[in-house]
Amino acid sequence: MADTTHIAKDERIGTESFVSRLMKRPELGAIAGAILVTLFFLFTADGAMFTLSGVMNFMTPAAQLGILAIGAALLMIGGEFDLSIGSMIAFAGLIFAACVVTLGLPLIIAIPATFALAALAGTLNGAIVLKTGLPSFIVTLAFLFILRGISLVGLKLATDGSTQLRGVRDAVEGDFLRPLFSGDAFPGLFAWGAQVGIVETFANGSPKVPGIPVEILWFIALTLAATWVLLRTPYGNWIFASGGDRAAASNSGVPVRRVKISLFVLTACCATLVAIITVLDAGSTDARRGFMKEFEAIIAAVIGGCLLTGGYGSAIGAFFGSIIFGMVVIGLSYTDFDQDWFQVFLGGMLLIAVLFNNYIRKRVTGER
């Protein structure tokens, strides 16, 4: 009988420990960061921060940034950057406001038209990157200035010299699509909660929180959809492959060009969604809308675990990275700290995230 006591175990059928699998998850750092930031504010901030109204206060900017960060994260996983998404917010805001105010179009026409023009700009971005071979950083940086300039000139033409276009709220009053992109969802539920004592109320009995801001619902829905696409569909595998090794992906039959252009379109459409939400909420648009948001979105994606080299990351990580951002930008107002420390914190979080992600990358790839 053959001696089998010394046969080496095949490493391909070995089991990986739970801790090892956990350490390889791209969103691990963002979740840990969110827990630490929460603990920090639990001990330093006014207790009102974690009431229902306080949570809505920091989740609203987190959701607006998070919508951008989800698109930025998928594009970064695909191996590219888009520095024009902040300017896209201003550009899409101009198109949308001009459609409803200047042209008097209903939302059922204005919204698809705005998304179509944004998708065209995203396609142009991606096509130039892939056709010329230039880094997407350079191409989209150029579009950052181009779209911002178009927004400034376009607003002046639409308003006879002003850089702000108003009257949006009046123009869309009563439109059946408005509740999908503006205001608070489930007002009846929150009114009932106020009556039974679940939701805090003002002296007159009205709820302090009238509902869930719709951008939060969009944020959650996009996170779930993006996570499903990345983890459960062939397209998600194509995104990872395109960002990990473009040549190998192409040789394996992955339509790299089509995938990357679609991701540029996605980031442009995410910026457009934010533009429509903010324009409807404010009732106006201006040329500086979305200023610096491109960097904040990329920071949220990096904090969420996306590697700058592509091929690694998650939508869940971008979700928690955005929540960290929202908690800090609003949370400092509940403390005695100078709010200018926000910039220091943001830079520190970015540096820590990059170092952590670099460590994880080496663990995953086996580099020394």
Question: Residue 19's pLDDT is what?
Answer: 57
Tell me the pLDDT band of 363, cut-offs 50, 70 and 90: low
Residue with tokens 């595998």: 237
The candidate with the shortest Cα–Cα distance to 149, out of 65, 72, 68, 88, is 88
User: Any long-range contacts for 278-282 (C-beta under 8 Å, 24+ apart)?
Assistant: 278/64, 278/89, 278/93, 279/93, 279/96, 279/97, 279/168, 280/168, 280/169, 280/172, 280/178, 280/181, 280/182, 281/182, 281/183, 282/168
Backbone torsions φ then ψ of 188, nearest 5 degrees = -65, -40
pTM reported for the whole predicted model: 0.91
- Rounded to a whole number of angstroms, the distance between the first and last alpha carbons of the chain is 43
**CB neighbour list of residue 309: distance below 8 Å, 6 or more residues apart:** 79, 361
**pLDDT above 90 for 145:** yes
The mean pLDDT of 334-361, rounded to a whole number, is: 76
| pLDDT at position 142 over 80 | yes
E strand or H helix at 312: none
Q: What are the b/e assignments for 311-332, b being 16+ CB within 10 Å? A: bbbbbbbbbbbbbbbbbbbbbb
pLDDT of 36: 86
Positive/negative CA dihedral, 149, 299, 265, 246: positive
Whether pLDDT at 368 is above 60: no
Q: How many CB atoms lie within 10 A of CB 356?
A: 18
Question: Percent of the chain beyond pLDDT 90?
Answer: 58
Q: Which tokens is 40 given?
A: 């920090």
- pLDDT averaged over every residue in the chain: 88
Other residues' Cβ atoms within 10 Å of the Cβ of residue 134: 13
Any idea which of 123-127, 204-208, 246-250, 301-305 has the lowest mean pLDDT? Answer: 204-208
Q: Which of 109-113, 287-291, 344-348 has the lowest mean pLDDT?
A: 344-348
pLDDT band at 333 (very low <50, low <70, confident <90, very high): confident
- What is the SS3 assignment for 212? strand
At 194, the pLDDT band (50, 70, 90 cuts) reads: confident
Residue 8 confidence (pLDDT) above 60 = no
Q: How far apart are CA 351 and CA 302, in angstroms?
A: 10
Max Cα distance, the chain (Å): 95
pLDDT digits (tens, 9 = 90+) for 214-268: 999 999 999 999 999 999 999 999 999 999 888 899 988 999 999 999 999 999 9
What percent of the chain lies above the pLDDT cut of 70? 90
- Domains of the chain and CATH, by start: 52-365 (1.10.3470)
Residue 22 has pLDDT above 80, yes or no: no
Residue 71: band (very low, low, confident or very high) from pLDDT cuts 50, 70, 90: very high
Greater confidence (111 vs 81) lies with 111
What local confidence, expressed as pLDDT, does residue 116 receive? 97
- What are the backbone angles phi and psi of residue 47, rounded to the nearest 5°? -60, -20
User: Does residue 156 surpass a pLDDT of 80?
Assistant: yes
List pLDDT tens digits, range 280-322: 999 999 988 998 899 899 989 988 888 888 888 899 999 999 9
